[in-house]
Structure 1
Amino acid sequence: MHLSINLTTDFKVDSLTDLSKYKLMMESLGMKINKSELARQLKVDRRTVDKYLNGYVSSKSRSRKSKIDDYYGVISLLLSEDSPQVFFYKRVLWQYLKDNHGLDCSQSRFRSYISSKPEFQSYFSNGKRTPSAKPVLRFETPPGEQAQFDWKENIKYITRDGEIIYVNVAVLLLSHSRFKAFYLTLSKSQSVLMSFLTETFEALGGVPKILLTDNMKTVMDHPRTAYSRGVVNERFDHFSKDFGFKLKPCEAGKPQTKGKAENVMKLLDEIHAYQGQMNYEELHEFVQTLCERANHSYHQGTGKIPILALKQEKNLLQPLPRKSIRDSYKIVHKPVKVNPSSMITYQSNQYSVPPEYKGKTVGLQIYDDHIHVYYNTALIARHPISQLKLNYDPSHYEKVLSMNMYEGIDTDEWSKRNLEAIGEVYKDE
């Protein structure tokens, strides 16, 4: 039998990856390969051509170490079950590492890194919140028109000393500029609420026309529902009239009505990243740091920076009521001088403050059975009202002691011993 077979010997070389097949074809035909000509055609070195002719295959992906890998151990510890710290969002973990461990990378790159590590991604996936199926209608308000108020409430926090406290953060947001004011407190009383609003309105230099709130008991005696307008608390009604704003409570069960304030609450989840790291005074300062950061950051929804957008909105706020009216709603702020022993006096009893405020004038606010000591706007000390003559915060006493002791002395042990002795001397007076 005689067979006639037509062979096509045309072969097009478009890239280096074609060279191994080209070599097989040329060898089967008994033809010599012109490597120099191939190098000129492909615009590469002759040695590169030789390497690919011999079957070299380049790696499709580079195995390059990420600089975030240096933080693998820290991330593992922070996300472990043994850590008291909680990170609800990758953004919060990124910010924590950036602020406390020197991480230097973009948030998007960090999020991608976490997503690529199943052991880390599972931490966030397990607690993932289910988005609402209902679409939310977005609307904007003109400058000076509306502010929204809400509480981030009952946040369980473990202090550096192991004390468990439940804190609340009051949040006021101007709807147009997205400028925010935060205030950390242990109480959600009506007096605290009205004092916060008063001092915030003063800081803004005016009052919005509408205040949007939920149906909190300090504002509403009976909630607004789909079938009822609700009943505003009498004292808060007087407050709103004195300041000239219209109170607009949300319909019960529809928190999305004040969605701008609700979105801010996610920022405050960063508090949980510092569980066990701070005392109450430091936590108060940290909340103000969060507020300042948010006000100086680009807002994706408006395309503006809130602190800059505020300049336009301030001019369109309503004027403040006279000072006597404003003062009637403030928690009394009494100026006192810190004595040489770093103590202030209230009702003939003395309470400690950090030694760096010795000789300075500080402010006292009394509410919720506690003395709150401020220097400018910073909370520097907090004491329960006591019948003891001398009331020391151990950390204050230890700092004073360390400034007057020789090196090598255990100031912690000395302070404990001395405080016990002081307590024995003054407890029966």
Structure 2
Amino acid sequence: MRKDVYERMRYFVLEKIKPNYSAIARQYGVDPRTVKAAYLRAQSGKTAVIRKRRSRRSKLDGYQDIIEDKYTAGCSARSIYDFIVEKGFTGKYTIVKDYCRRFRKVQTKKATIRVEHTIGLSAQVDWKEQVTMADRNGVPHTFSIFLYVLPYSKFKFLKLTLDQKQDTLFKCLFEAFKATGGIPKEIWFDNMSTVVDHKLSDFHHYRFNERFLSFSHDAGFHPIACRPFRPQTKGCVEALARTMGRLRPYDREFSTINDLNSIVNRLAKRLNHEKSQSNNQKPVELWAANCQTK
């Protein structure tokens, strides 16, 4: 039994959430029966049984993480091969090239998985960074937009900010909780420096910033950091970021930053009253119905 699947089911048991076996199986790339078995084992309080497999030694042993990190950063297989040869790699270039090809295929396959969402379970957070628009006098204003979306209802909250500092993030989250009527059980974040401690993290394991982690515990939500090559985990907020292009017609059509803030608020209201392409329902109506069922 995979430990990550078991830990996920253990979280569902602790939070008393009934999982969607098929959706989670697609997310983790396993059989739904595996997910169900992990859930039942977590319910019974038993620990996960991790089967040990015999592993044949490969010349790539000890170099996989380096290859994946460098390939993710956009390096070619040839340049990665030259790099690890300097570090003592004794294999041939074809081994590295084949590994990069398999790694790319796995990430591409993961990127096509659709994640199903549960009422009240999660939210997604990101920034639309460094947007520049000019006022009526041609003076440029650079700002960012805090993006918060509830994936199940597609209800959105937007906030214009002049920076992306950690205190600003905390303030925006509190306003989002107030605007949406509650705090979700888990919130998915992009790889932002105010959330993830990059010095203590690598491609496979994220370490959250201690101050942010303390904030999340006090607020009562479980933070999850999105990994590269996994856009399906935060597809809703990425789609929301793309809609910020609808601010462009207001370039040179405002006088002050307060006017611009009002434009952002009006856009949020319009988005919440437009039917979502995914479910053909208005986010504000579905969100209101969900609030009544709580």
Aligned to 2:188: 212
- Does residue 231 (structure 1) correspond to residue 194 (structure 2)? The answer is no
Judging by fraction of residues, say which structure has more strand: 1
Counterpart code for 2:224: K
Long gaps (5+) in structure 1: 1-132, 318-429
Match for residue 309 of structure 1? 286
The separation in 2 between residues aligned to 1:260 and 1:204, in whole angstroms, is 16
Cα distance in structure 2, aligned partners of 1:225 and 1:304 = 39
What residue number does 2:246 align with?
A: 270
Letter in 1 for 2:112: V
1:267 to partner: Cα distance: 1.5
TM-score (norm 2): 0.59
Alignment of 1:411-422 (within 5 A): none
CA displacement at 1:304 relative to structure 2? 1.3
Deviation at 1:202, TM superposition (A): 1.9
Deviations 1:308-365 (A, max 9, x none): 1112333577xxxxxxxxxxxxxxxxxxxxxxxxxxxxxxxxxxxxxxxxxxxxxxxx
- Give the aligned residue type for 2:272: N
Distance in 1, matches of 2:181 and 2:166, equals 22
Which residue matches 2:262?
A: 285
Spell out, residue by residue over 1:52-77, the C-alpha distance to the aligned partner (whole angstroms, 9 max, x if none).
xxxxxxxxxxxxxxxxxxxxxxxxxx
Of residues 290, 296, 303, the one that matches 2:273 is 296
Residue 260 of structure 1 is matched in structure 2 by: 236
Q: Does 1:191 align with 2:167?
A: yes
Aligned to 1:24: none
2:116 match:
140
Counterpart Cα distance in 1 of 2:128 and 2:284: 22
1:17-416 aligned within 5 A? 136-222=112-198, 225-228=202-205, 230-278=206-254, 279-314=256-291
* Shift in alpha-carbon separation, 1:261–1:146, aligned structure 2, 3 A: same
Aligned-partner SS, 2:131: strand
C-alpha distance in 2 between matches for 1:224 and 1:181? 29
Q: Secondary structure in 1 aligned to 2:241?
A: helix
Which is helix-richer, 1 or 2?
2
Aligned-pair CA distance for 1:226: 4.1
1:232 aligned counterpart, secondary structure: coil
1:27-65 deviation per Cα after TM superposition (whole angstroms, max 9, x unaligned): xxxxxxxxxxxxxxxxxxxxxxxxxxxxxxxxxxxxxxx
What is the rounded CA distance, in whole Å, between the counterparts of 2:267 and 2:278 in structure 1? 19
Partner in structure 1 of residue 105 of structure 2? none
**Counterparts of 2:292 and 2:197, CA distance in 1:** 34
Tell me, in whole angstroms, the C-alpha distance in 2 between the residues paired with 1:247 and 1:196. Answer: 15
- Aligned partner of residue 231 in structure 1, secondary structure: coil
- SS of the counterpart of 2:172? helix
Query: Which string of whole-angstrom CA distances, capped at 9 and with x for unpartnered residues, describes residues 266-307 of structure 1?
Result: 211112222111131111101111110010111120221100
Instruction: Classify the secondary structure of the residue corresponding to 2:115.
Output: coil
Partners of 1:138 and 1:310 in 2: how far apart? 21
Q: 1:156 to 1:239 in 2, by over 3 A?
A: same
2:115 and 2:232 in contact (8 A); partners too: no
The aligned amino acid for 1:296 is H
- What secondary structure, in the 3-state scheme, does the structure 1 residue paired with 2:148 have? strand
Distance 2:248 2:239 in 1: 17
> CA distance change for structure 1 residues 141 and 256 in 2, over 3 Å: closer, same or farther?
closer
Aligned to 1:427: none
TM-score (norm 1): 0.41
Is the 8 Å Cα contact of residues 144 and 316 (structure 1) preserved in structure 2?
no
Which residue identity is paired with 2:273? Answer: H
Deviation at 1:163? 1.4
Which structure has the larger Rg? 1
Count the aligned residue pairs. 185
Tell me if the contact between 1:168 and 1:184 (Cα under 8 Å) persists in the aligned partners. yes
Identity within the alignment, %? 33
Is the 1:160–1:277 Cα contact (8 Å) retained in structure 2? yes
User: How far apart, in 2, do the equivalents of 1:237 and 1:146 lie?
Assistant: 17
Report SS of the residue matched to 1:220. Answer: coil
Give the letter aligned to residue 153 of structure 2. Answer: S
In structure 2, distance between residues paired with 1:266 and 1:281: 23
Unaligned runs of 5+ in 2: 1-107
